[in-house]
Amino acid sequence: MAILDILKLPDPRLKQVSESVASFDQVLRDFIADLEETRLAGPSAVGIAAPQVAHFQRIVILDLSGRPKTPNHGHLVLINPEITHWKGFAMGREGCLSVPDYTGNVIRATQIRLKAQDADGVEHQYEMEGFEARAVQHELDHLDGLLFVDRVVSRRTDLHRRKVYK
Amino acid sequence: MTDTLSDWNLLTLVGADRPGIVSRVTRVLYGLGCNLGEASMIRLGGNFTIMLMVSGARPDAEILDALAPVAGELGLRLHLDPLSGGLHQHLLPNIQVRVAGADRAGIVADVTEILAGQGFNILELESDVAGERERPVYIMNIQGYSDQTIETLSGALAPLTERGVSVDVSPVDVLIG
Ligand SMILES: [Zn+2]
């Protein structure tokens, strides 16, 4: 196991689009273990995506098991994840291991349906909401070479008003 | 926070909004070799307001002299003050307080006094007046840090509800991923 180096803005490799995982083998399992160790070594991140450590495959780790008050599926390894359904939107504050010392407001879908494989290649479907849905959208962006700073909106962007008069 | 003077100055500019203010001002600063730090630039009541951290690579007088022609031409009032502290001192809010009500008089003082009494540290406050001209609605959004629970803060602010002011206290959950 090893703690891997995290790419930081403005490293251009963060813009690279990651490739699908095809082999579910020991190499994959070893990498997932390193990715998890790297996530835990950093400042309380609920998720990490493989491209953040310069490994350009569609692999995400998500762990909201430490947040009993938020609906979540606990610790997840998501391989080749795909959001198949979006609903609602909300603004929330995000930060990123790849963007130290900055947080910003981002609009994300509040409910999603997610399809992903696990480390053994078995496909699963998840219904997610709120914070967990936000975390998945943040991590999946990394797989497509996007950072939350590409989506930051001003706090004056008034979601509240739009909600009232919809 | 540090109390010692840093290399940073705070440049404040206020004036009627017109196109090109930001580019003209920042071009002058760049020409002087100044670095820019954190900035807030926003329209308030049809005026353009800029608060901008500018590194003190040059003497104050030189910065003010260089900006004088642009300020004169664009009708901007400007200020330059020494600043303690510097970059990379962000504090993360954990609580958000949203306030809305027809009652404007004293609403800001009332809300913030109650919060101060609870040891709430205001990090950001934005307010606006919405609604129709004859029936204005005052809307305020405060983000800050507090060790108190949501319930305690809500309870402390509850008396405002009797005045028809709607107050909502909610967690600010910063996602790191
Ligand atoms: Zn991230």
Residue A165 lies in a domain: no
**Contact present, B121 and B92 (Cβ < 8 Å):** no
Q: Pick the closest to residue B120 from B90, B82, B94 (CA basis).
A: B94
Which residues lie at CB < 5 A from ion ligand 1?
Answer: A 96; B 177
Residues of B in contact with A129 (CB under 8 A): none
Higher pLDDT, B2 or A54: A54
How does the average pLDDT of chain B come out, rounded?
A: 92
Instruction: Verify whether the Cβ–Cβ distance A101 to B130 is below 8 Å.
Output: no
Instruction: Verify whether the Cβ–Cβ distance B177 to A47 is below 8 Å.
Output: yes
Residue A164 lies in a domain: no
DSSP of A8-64:
-TT-GGGGPPPBPP---SHHHHHHHHHHHHHHHHSSS-SEEEGGGGT--BSEEEEE-
Q: Kindly report the CATH number assigned to the domain that includes residue A98.
A: 3.90.45.10
Closest-CA distance, B130 to chain A, in angstroms, reads: 10
Number of independent structural domains in chain A: 1
**Which residue range(s) make up the domain with A86?**
12-153
Taking the centre of ligand 1 as the mean of its atom positions, its distance from the CA of residue A60, in whole angstroms, is 11
How does the average pLDDT of chain A come out, rounded?
A: 93
Q: Which residues contact B70 (CB under 8 A, 6 or more apart)?
A: B24, B25, B28, B76
B2-83: CATH topology: Alpha-Beta Plaits (3.30.70)
> What's the confidence (pLDDT) of residue A3?
96
The answer to whether B174 contacts chain A (CB < 8 Å) is: yes
Q: Which CATH class is domain B95-171?
A: alpha beta
pLDDT of A164 over the 80 cut: no
> What's the confidence (pLDDT) of residue B3?
46
Residue A159 lies in a domain: no
> What's the confidence (pLDDT) of residue A1?
82
Backbone angles phi and psi of A62, in degrees to 5: -130, 135
pLDDT digits (tens, 9 = 90+) for B115-168: 999 999 999 999 999 889 899 899 999 999 999 999 999 999 999 998 889 999
Known binder of ligand: residue A138? Answer: yes
pLDDT digits (tens, 9 = 90+) for B56-82: 778 899 999 999 999 999 999 999 999
Residue A161 lies in a domain: no
The answer to whether B124 contacts chain A (CB < 8 Å) is: yes
pLDDT digits (tens, 9 = 90+) for A64-123: 999 888 999 999 999 999 999 999 999 999 999 999 999 999 999 999 999 999 999 999
- A139 catalytic? Reply is yes
> What's the confidence (pLDDT) of residue A85?
97
Known binder of ligand: residue A124? Answer: no
**Confidence category of residue A158, pLDDT binned at 50, 70, 90:** low
Asked whether this chain's domains B2-83 and B95-171 adopt the same fold, the reply is yes
Is the ipTM reported for this complex over the cut 0.85? yes
Which B-chain residues 41-80 have CB contacts (< 8 A) with chain A?
A: 42
> What's the confidence (pLDDT) of residue A166?
34
The answer to whether A63 contacts chain B (CB < 8 Å) is: no
Instruction: Locate the domains of chain B by residue range.
Output: 2-83, 95-171
Known binder of ligand: residue A96? Answer: yes
